[in-house]
Structure 1
């Protein structure tokens, strides 16, 4: 089906993907409502009881993944705290369409883990270089030789020795626990990778329970809440092992010398979840805001898979609920809708409304379910941003926005990030203080603002 639209400044006048976009949007909207989530959770519990299976958490450990090292430090505590069976699978890093920039991801994960570890009460020393491949193999061998409870118990000491570069400790652990042959390691990794793939995921440091995925320490609070609701918390008066981190900029306003750069795209669920909060953080703290929109990854040739898309939309909806953000009535703005809005962005900036336009578009696409490919939908976006639609129509399709967005993408990559939302905090001289990827890193930005204004706490 192809629908015709009025020509606006040279943009394409037909959109053959509109029906597909509408259908997928309706499906994604329905799948991740709290009602549907609770139905799936209840069904999983009924199936578990019917088969007389214990409550089982499956954890997927990638020894050379920084986030797995953080998660490793909580495994035994998880098993002790909750009335569950915890199993540990060994996995490799995924490659291909599910992981767009594996080398950048590895570098960023080491930097990121160092940034967040202390706030979780965990350890991750600054680690600029990749791990020694031979030590990685030895760590895999030790863990492959163990199974069941022994593997769960071995993960933390093996991971600690590996990430601290303590070769003698790895040798000691190998002598104490055993070390599998290369063929046995390959078999263990193949089993773990196959299990992860069967359950439809692709990352390390992942926890799986009852049909739902939880990524590393950052999402462990969602899992802990679910376990507590099932009555599985043996110490429900104690704080969670990995409580949710909340932004706290300290209440002392900047004089504007600090700058917060926000890299966001119009088709990013995570951008939709956190965008307004990030803007508000800059306003509240007095930090200068520099919004730097970029093209969505799929619109700049970065492939995506249904597996990855399903996880992202599920997780974004879950995060939005936790934050109390209006989200979930979805109308996919990929392609023409995004291009139309981007073409208006430079003009909106001249009107002092660039941030408001991006905010309005994200809200209409991800919370209000407005079809932004149609003029009537885009008009709602424009007018809600405080702009004149009649004037805006004259700027649809104007040149210049493509080069602006590409300039922003290059800057984002140079900062070590490639996805959105990403944040970069700059000092008064324009020197980066911290650069991080993810809507769940706004609290780190707030922490660094606080440090700059108040000093270390």
Structure 2
């Protein structure tokens, strides 16, 4: 799509990524995704898996998929040794390429984002990533891959952080030294191992790097490791307290500093099942502080939601609450769902996103999650057609919140006037006025301008965030509901 276009090109790719499915397909997809992501199904599948594992006398096998040129994989690699030491698991390590084909949304932006984002979050997990790191040299990526391809799983867990650190720091001397002590395979062998890893990843149903897999579920990098740790702990697989990492490499949620003194209130992005063991995890999710510093509107938090995004639905209300509790000015900039603007998607990707978002919603304490009616296509356009009017009535935030709640938590069919009326009235707006203006095109330039703004700072997915100072200069940007804690910490840093 041309970035200079005033009107979005609503691209229908067909299949799972269709931008406006027929009625029966919309109903069937909604039922399927609601079922696949349901807590009851997750619990049942886990119980069946563990029963079968015990009958076989098999160990807890965790598989890890490492993408050498991916910033998130560099962070994950730093935790492999601690994971083995802390939990009674067999860790199987694979080399993989990045997302391929229709799973590779905006490939030119993905790796730069992984570097920027990894550098931002690393200190909060007690990890390292060089700031302002550029793309590593292709020949160094090849050498790193060849070194890792020759390692057994236990050696991989120990050496991968060293190889990765040498690669990302640009230290050819260190990488060459590692190659001398751990002779690399030839290029063909490394390629074959990478292809084998990709095939295994495909077989298990994923597409990305820095992924952990256990018992039919996926855990992305350091961000989702807390869920895997909670699951292993519940199964009695924890060996001992963490001791692999030194005190100065502990996550910031286990350290004592000014951010954790009395008076600093914060919300927790962890479920009750995770909370008791949180302090003993190797990768607990950082806190989301709302104090001690309060703003008077000098900072601006831009949020880019989509009313068809499960991740947006899991965190939109929390985003609004963060802005209100900290006093920053919130600017909501809705965008079209990715599949409605031509960003590709596959069935595997769609299923993972919905199951992961459901897990994240439950971790946030959203107990009524899961009554899903897909609003892709016409419902999104009709909902957005009311957004400028809702903003003029001072109820724009309420309209988006009500729409997300209806689609993801109440099972409301927003593809009907009855369903849309429910959304409008839940937002505190009069349906008789909405009915007169629905289906207008006034929203199109606004929504497209928001998309272009989001792309201008290197992001394309939702929800995305950008924090601006009093002069309108950007302080940080981030993609994902799992970055709300980072935004909260940056707010406190800016105000401190």
TM-score range normalised by the length of the shorter chain: over 0.9
Aligned equivalents of 1:173, 1:195: Cα separation in 2: 28
Which of these residues, 4, 22, 45, is aligned with residue 27 of structure 2?
22
Correspondence for 1:450? 492
Correspondence for 2:389? 347
2:173 pairs with 1:131: no
Aligned equivalents of 1:52, 1:139: Cα separation in 2: 36
Aligned equivalents of 2:290, 2:390: Cα separation in 1: 29
Correspondence for 1:40? 45
Which of these residues, 186, 197, 203, is aligned with residue 208 of structure 2?
203
Q: Secondary structure in 2 aligned to 1:377?
A: helix
2:383 pairs with 1:378: no
2:113 pairs with 1:89: no
Correspondence for 2:440? 398
* 1:344, distance to aligned residue in structure 2 (A): 0.5
Consecutive aligned runs of 4 or more in structure 1 exceeding 3 Å deviation: none
Correspondence for 2:237? 232
Aligned equivalents of 1:416, 1:435: Cα separation in 2: 9
Which of these residues, 112, 118, 127, is aligned with residue 123 of structure 2?
118
Correspondence for 2:178? 173
2:440 pairs with 1:440: no
Residues paired across the two proteins, number: 440
Q: Deviations over 1:148-184 (max 9, x none)?
A: 3222222111111111111111111111111000111
Correspondence for 1:426? 468
152 and 417 in structure 1: CA distance in 2 versus 1, 3 angstrom threshold: same
Correspondence for 1:5? none
* 1:114, distance to aligned residue in structure 2 (A): 0.6
Q: Deviations over 1:262-309 (max 9, x none)?
A: 100011000000000001111111111110000001111112100000
Aligned equivalents of 1:303, 1:240: Cα separation in 2: 36
Q: Secondary structure in 2 aligned to 1:170?
A: helix
Correspondence for 2:349? 308
Contact 2:119 2:129 in 1 (8 A): yes
Larger mean Cα displacement after TM superposition, 169-178 or 205-214: 169-178
2:408 pairs with 1:366: yes
Correspondence for 2:301? 260
Aligned equivalents of 2:199, 2:133: Cα separation in 1: 31
Q: Deviations over 1:293-342 (max 9, x none)?
A: 00001111112100000100010000011110242110100011111111
Aligned equivalents of 1:174, 1:367: Cα separation in 2: 53
* 1:16, distance to aligned residue in structure 2 (A): 6.8
TM-score, normalised by the number of residues in structure 2: 0.87
Aligned equivalents of 2:316, 2:153: Cα separation in 1: 43
Aligned equivalents of 2:416, 2:300: Cα separation in 1: 36
* 1:30, distance to aligned residue in structure 2 (A): 1.9
Contact 2:96 2:209 in 1 (8 A): yes
Q: Secondary structure in 2 aligned to 1:293?
A: coil
Correspondence for 1:321? 362
Which of these residues, 301, 318, 324, is aligned with residue 277 of structure 1?
318
* 1:94, distance to aligned residue in structure 2 (A): 1.8
Unpaired runs of at least 5, structure 1: 1-14
Q: Deviations over 1:50-86 (max 9, x none)?
A: 3332111000001110000000100011001100101
Q: Secondary structure in 2 aligned to 1:23?
A: helix
Aligned equivalents of 1:91, 1:30: Cα separation in 2: 30
2:71 pairs with 1:58: no
Larger mean Cα displacement after TM superposition, 377-386 or 91-100: 91-100
Aligned equivalents of 1:239, 1:51: Cα separation in 2: 30
Q: Deviations over 1:4-40 (max 9, x none)?
A: xxxxxxxxxxx87122111211121122221110111
TM-score, normalised by the number of residues in structure 1: 0.94
* 1:96, distance to aligned residue in structure 2 (A): 1.7
Q: Secondary structure in 2 aligned to 1:213?
A: strand
Contact 1:95 1:102 in 2 (8 A): no
2:450 pairs with 1:408: yes
Correspondence for 1:12? none
Contact 1:87 1:152 in 2 (8 A): no
2:196 pairs with 1:186: no
Correspondence for 2:260? none
* 1:49, distance to aligned residue in structure 2 (A): 2.3
Unpaired runs of at least 5, structure 2: 1-19, 242-276
* 1:251, distance to aligned residue in structure 2 (A): 3.1
Aligned equivalents of 1:451, 1:28: Cα separation in 2: 39
2:378 pairs with 1:333: no
* 1:354, distance to aligned residue in structure 2 (A): 0.7
Correspondence for 2:429? 387
